Amino acid sequence: MQWRPSIIRTNCLAIESDIGVILIDTGPSIKSPQKTGTNKFYQNLKLKANRPSPLSRRLATLDIDTDSVKHIVLTHLDLAQTQAIEEFPNATAHVFGSEYIAAMAPATQREKNRYAHLKNLNSHPRWKVHQVQGSQWFGFDAIQIFEELGDHIQLIPLVGHTWGHCGVSIKKGQDNWIFHTGDAFFHQRELRLANPNAPWRIKLARYLATADQDSFFFNQERIRKLIQDKPSQIELQCSRFDPKY
């Protein structure tokens, strides 16, 4: 029997705003877009890593210079989300406090291995660490990142995949939002309301990469309910696939 490999990818967003270009995650680096421990891990499970052009090159096709990127909002600090940070020298990197602590003071060998790539940055980014403020967004805790933009871009804590994993809500209009959920989902079938599931290799990769299984599945269920309740208001985005629901 032959197994067809499942596809792993990293989806990032770029937002033009009054305070400069804002990125949601960075994806692979120009220097070594495929030489990553993450991809080696996937290969061992016969998961095929998607090979997109580095984000800085794709921005160039839109006449967006890397120097104009002023902020990078990170769903979490895994390699796939942070590898290209150095390519945006004028950017401040925004991260949830629990994630920053987990990465900079890892408590276990597993966490040390997970965040080891951050020590290899030639120039460390300017970090801005954010904490829960008491605001809410459709029943989720919400952290307004930029005072100038109000609730237009917010970190939404979705702990599970990592100890400080977040989604990002982006306001499109009066009552319309993009909700980038980072690695809260690994496969499109996990979005199903009835019997959410995924191919076994994806499930194994998800299990091995998840810090808190109970919180992971709890937040998946909350997101599924949000999409069910607000289908016309929420456009879902994920790191690993293009959701169509």
Domain boundaries along the sequence of the chain: 7-237
pTM over 0.85: yes
| pLDDT value for 54 | 79
Angstrom distance (rounded) from CA 72 to CA 51: 21
| pLDDT value for 35 | 46
* Encoded amino acid at 219, one letter: N
Residue 44 CA neighbour count, 13 Å, CB half: 8
Nearest residue to 239 via CA among 7, 6, 10: 10
With respect to CATH, is domain 7-237 assigned 3.60.15.10? yes
Residues of the chain with pLDDT under 70: 1-9, 32-53, 122-124, 243-245
- Determine whether 32 is exposed, middle or buried from the number of CB atoms within 10 Å of its CB (0-12, 13-18, 19+): exposed
In contact, 164 and 115? CB cutoff 8 Å: no
| pLDDT value for 189 | 87
| pLDDT value for 7 | 44
In contact, 154 and 141? CB cutoff 8 Å: no
